[in-house]
Every structure is written in C-alpha cells, then in structure tokens.
Amino acid sequence: NAGVTQTPKFQVLKTGQSMTLQCAQDMNHEYMSWYRQDPGMGLRLIHYSVGAGITDQGEVPNGYNVSRSTTEDFPLRLLSAAPSQTSVYFCASKILASSSYEQYFGPGTRLTVT
C-alpha cells in the first residue's frame, strides 16, 4: 500500500490564483480530512468527509472547498488564494468503524501565497 499520498509537495501561488491540492489513499478508508499546520497554532482541521458524497466543515473552512466523489480521493480547492493561506497542508485518513483505529497522514504540501 502507498498509504496516503499528496501532490504537489511544494507550490507557490500569487494572490487570487486558484489551485487544487490532491490527496489519495489506497487503504479503503471511509474517513478523510484536511489539516493545515502553522507555527504556534498546531494542526487545525479544515474539512472532513465520512464517505463518498459526504463532506463537512472543520474549524477553519473559510477559503477552501472540498468534494468526495470516490472513496480514494479527497481534493482540497483554494478558489482565490490569499497570503493567510500560506501553510503546510496535511491530508489524513482512517477506518471509520471504531475509535480504536489510528489516523494515517500524508507527507504534506507546503504552500506559499505571495
């Protein structure tokens, strides 16, 4: 299994540009989520999904859109990038059936918005 994969690893955007951060997992996990990590603030939940066709907002959803058309993929869209979205973005997944299952994280995408 490749686990949780994210592309790209690095990205530089200009203010106002749009882009999609890709996330895929090959473990057939129902639950997928996106976090951002900022110095002094830890990781914060942006959006999450409990299955194909079902998404919901986390703590910091403004400026981001998600959709889940398949179990494997959970892309994160920035519609109009802002410097405040400069961060490291992590995708995670887990089996939903029980709280005894751990979460698996991808390697991250480092995004800079100028």
Partner 1 sequence: KQEVTQIPAALSVPEGENLVLNCSFTDSAIYNLQWFRQDPGKGLTSLLLIQSSQREQTSGRLNASLDKSSGRSTLYIAASQPGDSATYLCAVSRGTSGSRLTFGEGTQLTVNP
Of the residues 1, 2, 14, 40, which one makes contact with partner 1 according to CB under 8 A? 40
Region binding partner 1 by CB under 8 A among candidate stretches 16-24, 30-38, 60-68, 74-82 = 30-38
The smaller minimum CB distance to partner 1, of residues 8 and 16, is found at: 8
| Residue number, 62 or 99, with CB nearest to partner 1 | 99
Residue whose tokens read 């998600």: 66
How many residues sit close enough to partner 1 to count as binding (CB under 8 A)? 29
Q: How many CB atoms lie within 10 A of CB 103?
A: 14
- The smaller minimum CB distance to partner 1, of residues 4 and 78, is found at 4
Which residue in 65, 67, 75, 104 binds partner 1 (CB under 8 A)?
Answer: 104
Q: 102 phi and psi, to 5 degrees?
A: -85, 165
